[in-house]
Amino acid sequence: MKPNRILSYGDPRLSVKSTEVTRIDQKMVDLVQGMFELLYIVPGIGIAAPQVGCNQRFFVFDMNRRADPGGRTPVTVINPVISAKEGSMTGEEGCLSFPGIFVPVERAFRIEVKGIDMDGKELVLEGEGLFARLIQHEMDHLEGVLLSERMTRWDKIRLRKEIRAIEKDGRKGKNVF
Ligand SMILES: [Zn+2]
């Protein structure tokens, strides 16, 4: 079944460590398609499976989204592993599960990630800047680690009302499958 919404912070499914994908079946193909449909509606560039209630290790993204809003460069990464990283950068980061919140987060500047694609073929991607940030952010989701755990204590205090409001909504989250 296709996902119809993105879970908000507060939903317990976002805090679970996801398990490896062992089989790319029709259910997963439909799910991935639904995730891209969502991605092209919401103002985001990536969605991790836990954000649609599926605790399996994969995420989808489209880096082209900002440069060319009409263009489509969909990428799915299954069972990703970060194989190299270097440097560091601090920049604004947001998350679809924390609508309206952007906070500075420190990440590695350059990253290489290995995984498999929807055809079951090995995939190696590398890049820096926004790409590196996106990959590290989505990988966090697969570990059940959320933006709220990456922000500084000061940002947590400064944004506590907003975060609490999102959490309240998230707790009421319905199962979308
Ligand atoms: Zn996120």
pTM comes to: 0.93
Identify the DSSP state of 120. Answer: S
CA of 19 to the centre of ligand 1 (A): 18
Q: Domains of the chain by range and CATH?
A: 12-171 (3.90.45.10)
CA of 155 to the centre of ligand 1 (A): 17
Q: How far apart are CA 155 and CA 14, in angstroms?
A: 20
Please give the angle made by the CA atoms of 113, 119 and 123, to the nearest 5 degrees: 15
CA of 6 to the centre of ligand 1 (A): 10
Active-site residue among 37, 122, 128, 138? 138
What does the pLDDT profile of the chain (177 residues) look like in tens digits?
A: 677 789 999 999 999 999 999 999 999 999 999 999 999 888 789 999 999 999 999 999 998 876 676 778 899 999 999 999 999 999 999 999 999 999 999 999 999 999 999 999 999 999 999 999 999 999 999 999 999 999 999 999 999 999 999 998 788 764 443
Tell me the three state secondary structure of residue 125: strand
